[in-house]
Amino acid sequence: MSVFTHIDFDNHEQVVFGHDSASGLRAIIAIHDSTLGPALGGCRMWSYATDEEALRDVLRLSRGMTYKSALARLPLGGGKAVIIGDPRRDKSEALFQAMGDFVDSLGGRYITAADSGTGVAEMRIMAQRTRHVAGAGQREALDGSLRDGDPSPSTAYGVFVGIRAAVRHRLGRDDLTGLRVAIQGVGQVGFNLARLLKDAGAELWVTDIVEANVRRAVEQLGARAVDQLEIFGLDVDVFAPCALGAVINRHTLEALRAPIVAGAANNQLASPELAEDLQRRGCLYAPDYAINAGGIIDVFYERSGGSPAELKAHIEGIEATLEEIFRRSASEGATTTAIADRLARERLGR
Ligand code: NAD
The pLDDT tens digits of the residues spanning 238-280 come to 999 999 889 999 999 999 999 999 999 998 999 999 999 999 9
45-96: per-residue pLDDT in tens? 999 999 999 999 999 999 999 999 999 999 999 999 999 999 999 999 999 9
Question: Relative to the CA of 228, which ligand 1 atom is closest?
Answer: 19
User: Could you count the other beta carbons within 10 Å of the beta carbon of residue 135?
Assistant: 25
CA 331 to ligand 1 center in whole angstroms: 33
Cα–Cα distance for residue pair 350/173, rounded to 1 Å: 35
Q: Quick check: is 70 in a domain? A: no
| Helices 211-221 & 188-199 angle (0-180, nearest 10) | 20
The separation between CA 54 and the C-alpha centre of its own chain, rounded to angstroms, equals 18
Q: Taking residues 325-339, report their average pLDDT.
A: 98
Could you tell me if 111 and 161 lie in one domain? no
Cα–Cα distance for residue pair 263/266, rounded to 1 Å: 9
- pLDDT given at position 110: 98
Does this model's pTM top 0.75? My answer is yes
Question: Relative to the CA of 265, which ligand 1 atom is closest?
Answer: 32
Q: Quick check: is 71 in a domain? A: no
| Catalytic status, residue 91 | no
Residue 42: strand pairing partners: 113
Q: Show the domain range for 234.
A: 147-347
Q: Quick check: is 159 in a domain? A: yes
Could you tell me if 202 and 307 lie in one domain? yes
Kindly list the protein residues whose Cβ atom lies closer than 6 A to any atom of ligand 1: 151-152, 155, 184-190, 207-210, 213, 228, 242-244, 264-266, 292, 295
Residue 248 DSSP symbol: B
Q: Quick check: is 6 in a domain? A: no
Closest CA to 183 of 143, 213, 141, 145: 213
CA 192 to ligand 1 center in whole angstroms: 12
Could you tell me if 96 and 178 lie in one domain? no
- pLDDT given at position 182: 98
Could you tell me if 24 and 130 lie in one domain? yes
119-170: per-residue pLDDT in tens? 999 999 999 999 999 999 888 887 888 999 899 999 999 999 999 999 999 9
Could you tell me if 223 and 129 lie in one domain? no
Q: Quick check: is 9 in a domain? A: no
- pLDDT given at position 26: 98
Last residue of a domain, one of 87, 114, 137: 137
Q: Quick check: is 49 in a domain? A: yes
Cα–Cα distance for residue pair 96/35, rounded to 1 Å: 28
Could you tell me if 228 and 308 lie in one domain? yes
**How many domains would you assign to the chain?**
2
Could you tell me if 38 and 159 lie in one domain? no
CA 1 to ligand 1 center in whole angstroms: 31
- Farthest CA pair distance, the chain: 59
Local structure of 288: helix, strand or coil? helix
Q: Quick check: is 8 in a domain? A: no
Could you tell me if 176 and 312 lie in one domain? yes
Could you tell me if 222 and 335 lie in one domain? yes
Percent of the chain with pLDDT over 90: 93
Could you tell me if 59 and 198 lie in one domain? no
- pLDDT given at position 143: 81
Could you tell me if 130 and 157 lie in one domain? no
Give the CATH number, domain containing residue 81: 3.40.50.10860
- pLDDT given at position 312: 97
- In the predicted model, is pLDDT for residue 350 greater than 90? no
Question: Relative to the CA of 296, which ligand 1 atom is closest?
Answer: 42
Give the CATH number, domain containing residue 181: 3.40.50.720
Could you tell me if 57 and 206 lie in one domain? no
| Mean pLDDT over the full length of the chain | 96
- pLDDT given at position 139: 87
Q: Quick check: is 2 in a domain? A: no
Residue 216 DSSP symbol: H
- pLDDT given at position 128: 98
- In the predicted model, is pLDDT for residue 115 greater than 80? yes
